[in-house]
Structure 1
């Protein structure tokens, strides 16, 4: 189960602790977001997918996932794993125009740069993990002037990442279809609570229905409508945990206008009904 240590809408930084062993009945779907995500593996191993790469991360390893890049983290078999996630909003990194234009923009706006990983035995991984621990402690205690120290720690953090990035071999630019996929997924994120048909998703990418399906199969490994339903289900998990809204209200707010259909999909995906999930205290099934 994920534990949010810090989240503030006015300050686009979020720290989470997650236990992947609790996901053994459910793997998160490939997804993207506007934040830069930095992961520190505390224990165990995970399989990470980012861009077109799949790789293993072990205890001590660190990985940065660039913003607007398709990615997911899955448990490695039955192995238990715990990791820490630092999400940093790009808007926060843009506050100093000189620093952003000279160092950060060339890195995070490089569409061929999906991720970078640091071996747990390297000095860079140790420094990044230590800085994230400092950020975690700062956001837990919130001392006077913590925002100023947060900006300083983030600059130190991205300095370590930048030094590795500039020495990495460059990859070919992202395919045009990957940009189209981003547009279609962003449409789903913005309209999941509405009635959506395949034509709507294809129109968002300015492609045909068949091309839409091919692009989703290549990049998300799901059909467009399956991706939509899985995203809606993951939103429903959050609402079942964080609100007292009825199952019917949650189904409607997630774009499921037939509650029985919502119940069937939920049962098939997670092995229990929405009501049983809420009563279970969220221990079964696992969550993303």
Structure 2
């Protein structure tokens, strides 16, 4: 299983309906190819609750080691990805919702005073609620009640879900520091990163140079490398390699194509180099991985 995205890495999955824009979904890392989900984004805010196990979860330029009982706040339209911590599987519940669930209608006082400052002007892309502060536990309790109400599908469950989500938002608003200048720069960098990742997604089968990606993002070579490293926490070259390896994993398990052919179709001109990179990223050779997962 993989998350389906469009050309700009926006997730295509619907997160709730127009009239009630929230979705509660149970996930397990081992259900994904390579026990990880690739970088993607969606316009919804996401609250992740870890049920069991551990995982490494990255949002923009930050990576968190999540453990059972932790909650992670991911702001709207942030790039995020997750993978196993060591060899531990991880079960988690994702609660995704559009900000309008909180503010109701465009231009409302609630939107301008309490929602937009966090979603567009705070500069906060994520927040790890690990129980180190008392209010973290309050958020977790409201989130678990939200999940229970949503899944009950009782006659008036929508009303109770909104009540709980309002309580969560109030706590977030009280404790998130607002920094409008950082927020504007963050959005600018995010747009540049989307262009870079989009180019890699469309051309990973070809030879990609720094000039190619920089041109796609309308940046100089040096600025392209700097912004990518700052936001993503890894080099552009490493990202391209990992993306190609992820794509090759699906071909190894879903097709009978020769490994040399898979390497070439994923942008590796040299089969031996592909095997070397695969070993480094996945911890085994392509042939061993295929035997283990077929």
TM above 0.5? yes
CA contact (8 A) 1:32 1:68 kept: no
**Match among 138, 159, 166 for residue 173 of structure 2:** 166
CA contact (8 A) 1:32 1:67 kept: no
Superposition pairs for residues 42-57 of structure 1, below 5 Å?
42-44=51-53, 46=55, 48-53=57-62, 56-57=65-66
Higher relative contact order (CA 8 A, sep 6+): 1
CA contact (8 A) 1:29 1:72 kept: yes
**Residue 219 of structure 2 is aligned to residue 219 of structure 1:** no
Per mean C-alpha deviation after superposition, the further-off stretch among 232-241 and 78-87 is 78-87
> Alpha-carbon deviation of 1:89?
7.2
Superposition pairs for residues 38-187 of structure 1, below 5 Å?
38-44=47-53, 46=55, 48-53=57-62, 56-73=65-82, 80=88, 82-86=90-94, 88=96, 98-99=104-105, 102=108, 106=116, 107-110=118-121, 112-120=123-131, 122-132=137-147, 135=150, 155=162, 158-167=165-174, 168-171=176-179, 172-174=181-183, 175=185, 176-177=188-189, 179-187=191-199
**Residue 264 of structure 2 is aligned to residue 264 of structure 1:** no
- TM-score, normalised by the number of residues in structure 1: 0.67
SS of corresponding position for 2:182: coil
Distance in 2 (CA, whole Å) between partners of 1:15 and 1:231 is: 25
Consecutive unaligned residues of structure 2, counting only runs of 5 or more, are 4-10, 16-22
Q: How many residues are matched?
A: 263
- Partner in structure 2 of residue 37 of structure 1: 46
- Partner in structure 2 of residue 280 of structure 1: 292
- TM-score, normalised by the number of residues in structure 2: 0.66
- Partner in structure 2 of residue 200 of structure 1: 212
CA RMSD of aligned residues (A): 4.4
Superposition pairs for residues 233-248 of structure 1, below 5 Å?
233-241=245-253, 243-244=254-255, 246=257
CA contact (8 A) 1:86 1:132 kept: no
